[in-house]
């Protein structure tokens, strides 16, 4: 899919792109003016050129006419009992996406959560059809623009009044299938001159596209990479995640190794536990072996049943592993030397937990398109 963007706005453009866009529109601006615009858009989060008081008044008015600054409209906020907030955004074309703000379980002395993690979407829907994922039921509608990715951060920050401390590209969509816009958004977010957040605060999660992972490794962004693994054999992974039929585990794990080789940043594996499918002692042994290939950790995640899974494809219903077996699996992994984190079920009551993002106002389909 092409790199979509709104051509009549500077929001969502990198600094060199702003220079180019204002020139193309006939403005003869000194380089430092473009820098002022770039800083105002992302560091100061202005919503109109009129707020850019460092620019001459006439120029502000002209720029406001030519380059409106779009806003993402929040149409629904759902607040979970655990403090997780899910935001439903309406996009300019009437489509919708969701972002989730998750407080960490760590509390400071005042009982406040210090870590606020924003889970961003990168596509409207997703084409990859993972069997445990609600977003998959929407199919792919379109890629998000860079502006729509960046605006999720700013709008959630404004609406929540919270300081976002971490960002995960783990919402709706496969980030590597919207590569250019994801990269531009990361370049903006991690630009030290904008002082938004340090690059180590960002994690991009992928279902495993080897070519894009290797390309991503060479971008020099210094962000973390997570792989949605969920199975340790090709047979099971291909059933849970059809993308595995195109790129098998061996290819995907080699690409992850390349990411580590290039960046020296330990990788993360995401592993949702499904009763009787991927939670045996043999699974734990194979998973631990995978984690030993390079410095890494594994996030073990409880499964949250949703209405839109495709059990017929699997020949079995998907069920969460029960609490006792969940703990035993964690113990087995740890005894095999794996670095294990247990991901909480934040936002499960508002359908904001992992794999639950799908829009109640978008039609859901159950057709299967396996590639």
Distance CA 169, CA 86 (A): 15
- Give the nearest distance from C-beta 33 to ligand SF4 in angstroms: 40
> Active-site residue among 195, 212, 354, 367?
354
Q: Are 80 and 347 in contact (CB under 8 A)?
A: yes
Distance CA 288, CA 232 (A): 10
Q: If residue 123 lies in a helix (H) or strand (E), which one and from where to where? A: strand 123-125
The owner of tokens 């709008």 is: 155
Name, in order, each residue with C-beta under 8 angstroms of 179's C-beta and a sequence gap of 6 or more: 212, 215, 216
- Measured from the CB atom, the residue of 173 and 320 that comes closer to ligand SF4 is 173
- Give the nearest distance from C-beta 285 to ligand SF4 in angstroms: 25
Alpha helices in the chain (DSSP H): 15-24, 31-42, 57-66, 146-160, 179-189, 210-217, 234-240, 249-263, 281-291, 311-314, 323-335
- Give the nearest distance from C-beta 169 to ligand SF4 in angstroms: 10
Residue 270 is among the residues annotated as catalytic for this protein: no
Q: Which two tokens stand for residue 288?
A: 């631990």
The owner of tokens 């009551």 is: 349
CA nearest to 218, candidates 184, 170, 259: 259
- Measured from the CB atom, the residue of 69 and 204 that comes closer to ligand SF4 is 204
Residue numbers of the site for ligand SF4 (CB under 6 A)? 126, 128-130, 133, 135-136, 172-174, 207, 228
Sheet holding 267-273, edge to edge: 73-79, 85-90, 96-103, 116-119, 166-169, 202-206, 224-228, 267-273, 296-302, 340-342
Q: What is the largest CA-CA distance in the chain?
A: 70
Q: Which two tokens stand for residue 295?
A: 């410095």
> Active-site residue among 98, 155, 174, 351?
98
- Measured from the CB atom, the residue of 128 and 225 that comes closer to ligand SF4 is 128
- Measured from the CB atom, the residue of 196 and 204 that comes closer to ligand SF4 is 204
- Give the nearest distance from C-beta 43 to ligand SF4 in angstroms: 31
- Give the nearest distance from C-beta 37 to ligand SF4 in angstroms: 34
Residue 354 is among the residues annotated as catalytic for this protein: yes
CA 186 and chain centroid, separation? 11
- Measured from the CB atom, the residue of 69 and 172 that comes closer to ligand SF4 is 172
- Measured from the CB atom, the residue of 231 and 288 that comes closer to ligand SF4 is 231
- Give the nearest distance from C-beta 250 to ligand SF4 in angstroms: 20
3-state secondary structure of 232: coil
Q: Beta strand pairing status for 296-302 and 267-273?
A: parallel
Active site positions, annotated:
98, 354
């Amino acid at each position: 899919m092409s790199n979509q963007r709104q051509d009549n706005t500077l929001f969502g453009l990198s600094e060199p792109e702003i220079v180019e866009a204002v020139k193309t529109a006939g403005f003869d601006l000194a380089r430092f003016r473009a820098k002022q615009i770039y800083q105002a858009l992302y560091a100061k989060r202005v919503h109109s050129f009129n707020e850019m008081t460092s620019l001459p008044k006439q120029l502000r008015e002209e720029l406001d006419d030519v380059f409106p600054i779009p806003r993402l409209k929040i149409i629904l906020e759902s607040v979970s009992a655990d403090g997780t907030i899910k935001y439903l955004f309406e996009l300019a074309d009437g489509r919708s996406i969701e972002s989730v703000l998750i407080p960490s379980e760590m509390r400071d002395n005042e009982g406040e959560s210090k870590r606020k993690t924003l889970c961003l979407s990168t596509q409207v829907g997703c084409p990859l059809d993972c069997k445990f994922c609600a977003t998959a039921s929407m199919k792919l509608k379109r890629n998000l623009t860079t502006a729509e990715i960046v605006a999720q951060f700013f709008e959630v920050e404004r609406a929540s009044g919270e300081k976002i401390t971490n960002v995960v590209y783990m919402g709706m969509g496969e980030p590597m299938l919207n590569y250019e816009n994801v990269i531009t958004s990361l370049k903006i977010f991690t630009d030290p001159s904008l002082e938004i957040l340090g690059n180590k605060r960002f994690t991009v999660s992928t279902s495993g596209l080897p070519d894009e992972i290797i390309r991503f490794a060479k971008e020099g962004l210094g962000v973390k990479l997570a792989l949605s693994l969920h199975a340790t054999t090709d047979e099971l992974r291909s059933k849970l995640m059809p993308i595995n039929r195109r790129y098998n585990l061996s290819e995907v794990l080699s690409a992850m190794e390349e990411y580590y080789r290039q960046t020296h940043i330990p990788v993360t594996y995401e592993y949702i536990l499904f009763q009787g499918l991927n939670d045996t002692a043999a699974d734990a042994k194979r998973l631990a072996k995978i984690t030993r290939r390079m410095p890494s950790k594994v996030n073990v995640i409880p499964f949250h049943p949703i209405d839109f899974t495709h059990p017929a494809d699997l020949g079995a219903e998907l069920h969460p592993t029960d609490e006792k077996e969940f703990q035993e699996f964690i113990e087995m992994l740890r005894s095999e030397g794996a670095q294990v984190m247990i991901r909480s079920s934040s936002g499960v009551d508002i359908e904001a937990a992992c794999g639950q993002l799908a829009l109640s106002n978008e039609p859901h389909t159950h057709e299967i398109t396996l590639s």
